[in-house]
Amino acid sequence: MLLSNDNAFNEQRLLQQLQTIDKHHLQKQRWLLAGILIMCGLAFIYWLWQNLRYFLTIKKKFY
């Protein structure tokens, strides 16, 4: 009886540790995704800015 209680306790503790590891892994993935999305947004804004500069330069040459 004591051994089965000990095994159940160890199994419960192991499951809690696995859940903690999974939660930490998902949190890391969330931060990575947020960082990638922010970098993509900044790259897009930079691309728009460069296109606007190029367009204004071309416009000055022809008008």
pLDDT band at 2; cut points 50, 70, 90: low
Interval 6-45: pLDDT, tens = 888 899 999 999 999 999 999 999 999 999 999 999 999 9
* Spatial distance between the Cα atoms of 63 and 59, rounded to a whole number of angstroms: 6
With CA atoms as reference, report the closest residue to 44 among 36, 56, 55, 34: 36
CA distance 31 to 25: 10
Q: How far apart are CA 3 and CA 44, in angstroms?
A: 61
